[in-house]
Structure 1
């Protein structure tokens, strides 16, 4: 082969090696020199766990061949592959340097290959296992359950025991016929169980006593261990089975434990299906909210909410008493039949007594669906609607600061309503200052509060100033105590803490009103 062809072939091999994700020369975009592969750096006495973690990490990166010597340095003839090898070797060196302490990093910084660094660290620190074995043995002896749960205590014991197992010599020839290796493994398992039993609290003394009286713990069933350890879950029992060596032949995972449900059972999760009816009025969600401690002008403390499942259209009715719900639901059914020419098929409510419309629904053929006791999640559509209504009401209330007794669909901005010609002369005011309260049902107008006369009326000739809220300028009459935790004598004349509507409100002058957002709204007819 000519020299030019050899160079071309070498280049194609090198390029295919770096582009193939299965090749050890392939570098992912996340493989950078600053990457840290293990959580704990090598300090000298933790070489066993550190080397195990590094082997796992480098194997995942497909780079372990650069430290064990299986991927040797190419000859200088193959310049492309040598360049790829050098790049990967330096990447692995940087990963090793990032995973050791500063003192150790300084001692291996000038090594030319990752394999030399790996062999140097192994030669230096693998021989000093005595102090680590001594530390592990002492930790196992001193390990106690104390305030920990059995699973947490077992997890700590497992970590120490597994690391100690790495220092124990094992036979790997596969030719032993005297079963000495099996007996040695059984001895290690018994030693592990004894260590586990020694660390348990005194509340498990009976368990230790009964376990030690057995000829071998291998004959203890999983049910017995399940009862002794305080009825842990199946997942915990699966974790313990390799160490406790219980008889797995008697394990029946589907056999119910009569104690576990009584001690640990919780309510089942609620899965949101978000199913909606195919047509309007196929299903109506219904609930009553209240009572509220401050009544409306008409002495109403409750409100009834009806939500159509298909369209999510909502109707809200104010109630003086919960028992009024029957009257409004009856009228609602008549309204649906008259206005929409449809009949309600199903109603969904909770188990409240005021929502038991038995005779009404029997006469109209409506199916009444109930939610389970203390399970509002099954009536979640109207429950979430209640939350939304209260969120909006609070936002409008805090925005306008309208007093409690006017909290029914309050907007609270400043408005000027035209005066009627029959009640004025040539020099009388043409408008009066008001506060916008809402939309009255069945009337093409606005519900307003006259600030001066303290009366509520309806008018269609209204100009709004939506950036001005008259009640924001009212100073609260309640005295705020700056020292609420101090006990002081009561005053002779305690202040009046009523939050009634003030007798006079200072109305801003027209020249001071903002020029923007001053327009006339076109009223709409409420259904």
Structure 2
């Protein structure tokens, strides 16, 4: 008796295959002596729906590798009798034992009495594969939130790949050979790559950016290989990973604290014998650097000079004050340079007046101002080098108080005493606090640092001007123009504008209208002073978006064409009911309008059904008085106007407007509105009572 088809679909004789030693492995009934009932063919047992997908995949691979997948898939059916029946029962029991050994005790107790291995397999699949939704949600959540952290690239990639493979088990698969699924597969691959790259640490940001710029994106294995190489190069010290600023700050702080606690031996100079430096860096041997200040003196200040001669002279002068052996170390050339510098400095100090020289030394730009005779000394100059506000005019002080032992140190080393200190109001919005009164100064100085510290303002320096802005309210409180390299405060500057907007006048009304969400002209007028807009420009601006955005329904384009002859088309409509019936008991009226002449007939109705008598009488009137036949009759879908038999008898075409589209019957609708407006006007002007509504309407 022949067996059913094997796992590969070929038909064979099991007994004949079993007799051949070479073909024994191909026989699904063949059982190796090492594969007993107690063998555990998978490492992870089945515990429930959580790991059923991975367990079933591993179990199917293990059974298929032993050429016995046909027993659980149903390809090898149970024979009816004969030798094959015994072999089938033996294989069925062994496979059942393998599954029982690969599941938990609770699950094994529930399937031990099931007969065939196929029924056991189907039972487990139906039991644990029903909750795919929560499993897919959990896997996708882990896939999206997984980050590298302290893991290596290999460990992080392994975890991500495990989750991805579990997700693939839940996806719909189809054996397609036409290539239609390739775009979908490429999309899944790109999603896989993006998740892998986005989960990397920030130290791999440069490599990640380079990979994302590749077109097309490489495969996931190529990306993994590139990152592994990057990690190995960093481990070997070939590449230096980016340093975290926080970690760098902590490391530097720890290094500083460690260096402070460590006692360092100080070297001794072999030239001068002083500790703290060596002979290669000895100032006495090689000369003092420009601007050098001795540690034991606070009053010596060397004037900055770019020339080499002055630098040498200044440093030697400072050294002469601190060392009695200074002159013995000078050569003849250095000594002559020092004497020349001292003579020039002494002559300049005795001949130059303090009023001009001291003021000029505050800023080099003031030299340019002295050459212009039209420059007023009452101007305020914004100076970034001054540490305090300084004024030379006592009359500008709003309030003041006397002070003692306060001096102003000039860059040339001179000190000038300060007599008063007080407040000065520049304009209505800018007030200077703690201004020093120095009568020897020729100009008034505004200290940038003092202004920023004492007031909540900001300064915007530009090539042509400097804007002083109040940060508490966005207003410009001062403006300085650039004159000959100096920023001179303009007292007449308009301070009633928004600070951002020295350029605000260039902004049109339409731009502000759109920025503020299409604000109405009335609201824009209330903001005209703030936005520097004129009311004339506000009321004469037009916006085509506002009518479209604020209308309650779309506009209807009428396609009505006026008839060429009278009574070719007649429009009809019924209006009512009135809230209060007329004196004659009428609650409705019928309006008939000729499309060509716009001549109108109005008939009063007590009930809507009266139209059944009015319309035939109207047709008879037209035929008798005008010898005309009404060709078309247009109305809405009112049931009382559907005179089908009458219109068929007269040969008149009855035209209906669409449902809820009164615009299509606009001729008579507008006539209704006109009649009602005229009636109300007459009613209100004559003060008729409501019972005469028939006459008024």
Larger radius of gyration: 2
Q: TM-score, normalised by structure 1?
A: 0.38
Relative contact order higher in (CA < 8 Å, ≥ 6 apart): 1
